[in-house]
Structures are given as structure tokens and as C-alpha cells.
Amino acid sequence: MRPTHTAAVLAAAALVLSAAPAAAQIDYRNLDDGRPVHTEDAYPIERYAFELLAPVRLEALPGGLDNTIVAPEVEYGAFMNGQVGLSLPFARVHAPGASDFGLAGLRLHAFYNFNTESRSLPAFALRADLALPVGALAGDVARLTVKGIATRSWGLTRAHLNAAWSFGSENGLAQAEAAPRWSGSLAVDRTLFRQSLLLVVEGLAEQEVRGGPTIATLAAGTRWQWTPADVLDLGLSRRLTSSGPDFEITVGLSHAFALRGLLPAGR
């Protein structure tokens, strides 16, 4: 691992060790991007809260290819109804007889929720992601992705609609974790077992590059509130078309906390 990579990991660990746990979290119900499925809900993390995420994804691709991606991420409720985040995805790209490992980019995002859902309207949110070409597997171009998100609830059941479009050159894309040209997904989740466990199913369609085939996948996952500040998740997806990963497995852990020095007086 390069010294810069080691420094990034140590910095993330220092955040956790110097932080106070966030109290009374119900984070199991917040669908994050890629945890445990691609679809996310329209609500950000709590204002002034941090969340440290540690997802691991295994991809089995056609032709004997496979990827392993570890993408540590930190999110912060920087403003009312919104959050910002930073992710450093590391990837191992394996082909028969060869493999490569390295940083697959630097990812920055901003997320804003416009409203809490009402009887007549779902909740709406907008997310913007910027992928920068930092690292051996990050490619040569920056890429901006804009996503619209809607969430509608019926008691313990919720439905989520995501639609995303990416801008930027399609030449020299990252070898792993490259944002697709466009994607659309629909997911439905259900809370079970005394409101500590969430089950979700998802249908996803996406096109990796202009003129490429449309890839359709079906996914399912669960999120479990392990402690008031920690959530475990597991997701499985299966390709339904002739292109795209044969299957994906995602395992993740998130930890919510706050830094006392950043809290307003009286909190």
C-alpha cells in the first residue's frame, strides 16, 4: 500500500477513535448508495452527525473476470436537510493470469433533501457525485453524476425511485467503480422485527457507455441495527441480461458518531 493510502486509512481510524457515539440512531432504515443495493432513499444523515462506512463488494464478471472493491467513506450532516461525503475506493481487478490492485479514484458527493413526504407528495432529493482520477485504477478523466431520488412510505413499507446521469468523457474511464452513463432503479423495503431489521428488493437498469447494451439486474438485501450507532448490511444481485456482472455480493458496516467540538452550544 502506498504511503498516501496508508495515511488515508489512519485518518479515518482517528476520526472514529476521537469521536463520541451518536445516540439513539435508527440508521438501519437509511438506504445508502450501494449499501446494500444501488438504490438509496431521499433522506440524509442527521445534521452535525458523521457516519463512517466500510463496504466491501465482490463482482463476478463474464469471461472469468472478477473485482473486489473496498470503499471506505465518511459522510457528514453539514447543513440542514443535507450531507457531504468523501470516499476512497480501493479495487483488485482480476483476469485469468493477471491481477492489479490500487486506488480507483477520489469520490466527493453532496446530497440535499427538498422536503419531507406528505399525503400528496413523496420526499425528493438530489445528489451530485464527482469522481476524480486519483490512483492507479482511477482512469484519466473526471466524471460528474447527478441523481434524482424519490421516497414514498406506507407504514413500514417504502418505495424508492432513483434516476442518474453521468457527464464527462467516456475515454479513459476507471477500471473499477466507473459511474455508468445512466441508470434507473426501483426498490421496495420493509421494516421487520421490532424495527431493527430492514429487507429490500431492487430492480436496476443501466448503460455503462453511450451506445452500449442496457444491463438489467435484480437485487435483494438487508440492514440490521446491531447497536444504536452501528448497522450491518448484506446485499446480493444477479444479472438478468447478457451484459454486466454475473452476480455481486456486498457486505458493509457503518458507524454513526459526532465530534463534540462541531456541535452547537447546548447540544
Averages of pLDDT over each 10 residues, the chain, 267 residues: 41 41 62 94 94 93 82 96 97 83 95 95 98 92 96 96 95 86 97 85 95 93 92 94 82 92 73
Confidence (pLDDT) at 26: 61
pTM: 0.86
Alpha helices for the chain (secondary structure H): 3-17
Confidence (pLDDT) at 90: 95
Contact 114, 151 (CB under 8 A): no
Contact 70, 56 (CB under 8 A): yes
Decide if 235 is inside a domain.
yes
Decide if 87 is inside a domain.
yes
Three-class SS state of 43: coil
Decide if 265 is inside a domain.
no
Decide if 234 is inside a domain.
yes
Dihedral in degrees, nearest 10, Cα atoms 138, 58, 237, 167: 0
Decide if 264 is inside a domain.
no
Domain range enclosing 18: 3-258
Identity of residue 258: A
User: CATH number, domain at 194?
Assistant: 2.40.160.40
Q: Please give the sequence-ordered ranges of beta strands (E in DSSP) within the chain, or none if there are none.
A: 20-21, 50-53, 56-60, 66-70, 73-79, 82-87, 90-95, 98-103, 106-113, 123-132, 143-154, 157-167, 182-192, 197-207, 214-227, 230-239, 247-258
Number of structural domains found in the chain: 1
Decide if 21 is inside a domain.
yes
Confidence (pLDDT) at 242: 75
Of 213, 149, 207, the residue nearest 182 (C-alpha): 207
Decide if 263 is inside a domain.
no
Decide if 203 is inside a domain.
yes
Of 255, 153, 238, 179, the residue nearest 204 (C-alpha): 238
**Contacts of 178 by beta carbon, 8 Å cutoff, 6+ apart:** 131, 139, 143, 208
